[in-house]
Structure 1
Amino acid sequence: MTQVNAIQLFEEKKVRTIWDDEQEKWFVSIIDVIEVLTETDRSRKYWSDLKSKLKKEGSQVSEKIGQLKMQAPDGKMRLTDVADTEQLFRLIQSIPSPKAEPFKLWLAQIASERLDEIQDPELTIDRALEQYLQLGYSENWINHRLKSIEIRKELTDEWKSRGLKEGQQFATLTDIISKSWSGKTTKEYKILKGLKKENLRDNMTNTELILNMLAEASTKDISQAVNPETFEENKKVAKQGGNVAKVAMKELEAKTGKKVVSSLNAKSLLNSNKKIDK
């Protein structure tokens, strides 16, 4: 069974989802849905109370709810209550909200779109482009971001071909690459930018994205050249790939007199883009 984690946008709010290829259906984070519909900052408590209420009413919906690992606000993959589209439709009936009907239509739409994307993978890129535009990113930044997704995929495919495991091993190698070129682990980088649950790459500047791409592309190319066989050997390759970008960064900083790695995040970037547009 192949599962793909993805962030969907409903009225500019993020909803965590997982696509299950075998069952050909989406599984959606229930607490994210509750947060969108109720705008509460206590979605976990709301869900706990709702489960108790449904149980007392004799409903079996909550009993069929499963759990899958999704990225938590701290960046770690944690088990989260999820529901498929049919289960969500039934749950939404128990949540008073003016957004209930628009949300149902949205759910049906993303389910249909995913089936279309399986037939035509280019649609995935088109929809990612549309989502970033809706959030207010510049087209130049979006082009870099989409390219970074492609390069990241090529790197993780290379790691998989070496027998490395998703999760801790991928995270360790990613941290080595990041530390080697930027001087910061992923966590340290996010702290610098004032991020919590937000995606780090979505908050990088154009230059940061380009250098991160160079680091990951270099890691993949070096790996294919030297054929590392153990995790320790892959860690050395990750450091070498990161160092390629570090050299480029240091030369750029020497020419411009400006630091590349900065605290600028998406909010700052988007405000800057708005000023330029005006």
Structure 2
Amino acid sequence: MSDDVKMFEGSQIRSVWDNERKEWYFSVVDVIGSLTESNNPRDYWYRVKKRMSEEEKSELSTICRQLKLKAPDGKMRLTDVADMQGIFRIIQSFPSPKAEPFKMWLAEVGNEYAILTNEISKVWSGMTTREYKDFKGLKKENLRDNMSTTELILNMLAETATKDIAEATNPQGLDENKQVAQDGGSISGDARKSIEARTGKPVITSKNAIDLGRLIGDLVKHDR
């Protein structure tokens, strides 16, 4: 999980990126505060839930989850969050003239992150995320779970470097964010090339979790 604060028309929207599910989760209270301009969005959300039918409440339990986000007092507190589709459905529960602009903003946020993830992957590994998964013969499986130790470390280096550069430079807009993603990815890409130059072997492997599991099993048998 990695958290972030995004801005919509001057309002802060706390968000969390779930790397396993490849989804952004957004604070429901922050979304409500932005769309309704309520002085107490937490109470507003409570009243919205209270008005829901049992069927709606049951549906809500499937699209909402609780994650710890930083509260205004600086402490990490459990907060109702929902993914992009969940937020779309929740904001149908109350009227707001900002609903449509917010939906467009939300779609752009989700799409921008996918673009930046691909930029990082292309620069450090030479492949987009989809190409990388295809290279390993993956379909819906998580790419990270199917990386070798070296691949995983380099991928984490690329993501961490990108985050550190972004925090230091505060990029604005897609073009500046893409440049930061490329800069972060290139740090890991240089490390990959250095390893390959020393070992004479490619770092990126087509082996997936099944293949890597067999390799470990064979090594254990050999040691015995």
Q: Please report the TM-score for the alignment, with normalisation by the length of structure 2.
A: 0.54
Q: Does 1:267 align with 2:210?
A: yes
1:144-189 Cα offsets, whole Å, 9 max, x none, are xxxxxxxxxxxxxxxxxxx995421110000000000110000000
Aligned counterpart, 1:233: 176
Deviation at 1:275, TM superposition (A): 2.0
Aligned counterpart, 1:203: 146
d(CA) in 1 for partners of 2:130 and 2:141?
A: 11
Q: Of the candidates 134, 139, 154, which is equivalent to residue 191 of structure 1?
A: 134
Aligned counterpart, 2:155: 212
Deviation at 1:20, TM superposition (A): 10
Decide whether aligned partners of structure 1 residues 207 and 7 sit closer, same or farther in structure 2, where only a CA change above 3 A counts. closer
Decide whether aligned partners of structure 1 residues 225 and 261 sit closer, same or farther in structure 2, where only a CA change above 3 A counts. same
1:180–1:242 Cα contact (<8 Å) kept: yes
Aligned counterpart, 1:31: none
d(CA) in 1 for partners of 2:16 and 2:176?
A: 28
1:164–1:231 Cα contact (<8 Å) kept: no
Decide whether aligned partners of structure 1 residues 244 and 6 sit closer, same or farther in structure 2, where only a CA change above 3 A counts. closer
1:214-242 Cα offsets, whole Å, 9 max, x none, are 11111111112222112110000100110
d(CA) in 1 for partners of 2:17 and 2:168?
A: 30
Q: Does 1:179 align with 2:122?
A: yes
Aligned counterpart, 2:220: 277
Decide whether aligned partners of structure 1 residues 274 and 84 sit closer, same or farther in structure 2, where only a CA change above 3 A counts. farther
Deviation at 1:84, TM superposition (A): 7.4
1:91-126 Cα offsets, whole Å, 9 max, x none, are xxxxxxxxxxxxxxxxxxxxxxx98x86xx9xxxxx
d(CA) in 2 for partners of 1:236 and 1:201?
A: 23
Aligned counterpart, 1:69: none
d(CA) in 2 for partners of 1:261 and 1:239?
A: 18
d(CA) in 2 for partners of 1:21 and 1:270?
A: 38
What SS does the aligned partner of 1:262 have?
coil
What amino acid is aligned across from residue 134 of structure 2 in structure 1?
I
d(CA) in 2 for partners of 1:246 and 1:179?
A: 9
What SS does the aligned partner of 2:163 have?
helix
d(CA) in 2 for partners of 1:174 and 1:5?
A: 12
Decide whether aligned partners of structure 1 residues 185 and 255 sit closer, same or farther in structure 2, where only a CA change above 3 A counts. same
1:164–1:170 Cα contact (<8 Å) kept: no
What SS does the aligned partner of 1:167 have?
helix
List alignment gaps of at least 5 residues for structure 1: 9-18, 23-63, 67-81, 87-113, 122-162
d(CA) in 2 for partners of 1:247 and 1:164?
A: 33
Decide whether aligned partners of structure 1 residues 189 and 164 sit closer, same or farther in structure 2, where only a CA change above 3 A counts. same
d(CA) in 1 for partners of 2:119 and 2:143?
A: 15
d(CA) in 2 for partners of 1:20 and 1:223?
A: 20
Aligned residues, how many?
148
Aligned CA-pair RMSD: 4.1
List alignment gaps of at least 5 residues for structure 2: 1-12, 29-54, 69-75, 77-105
Aligned counterpart, 1:254: 197
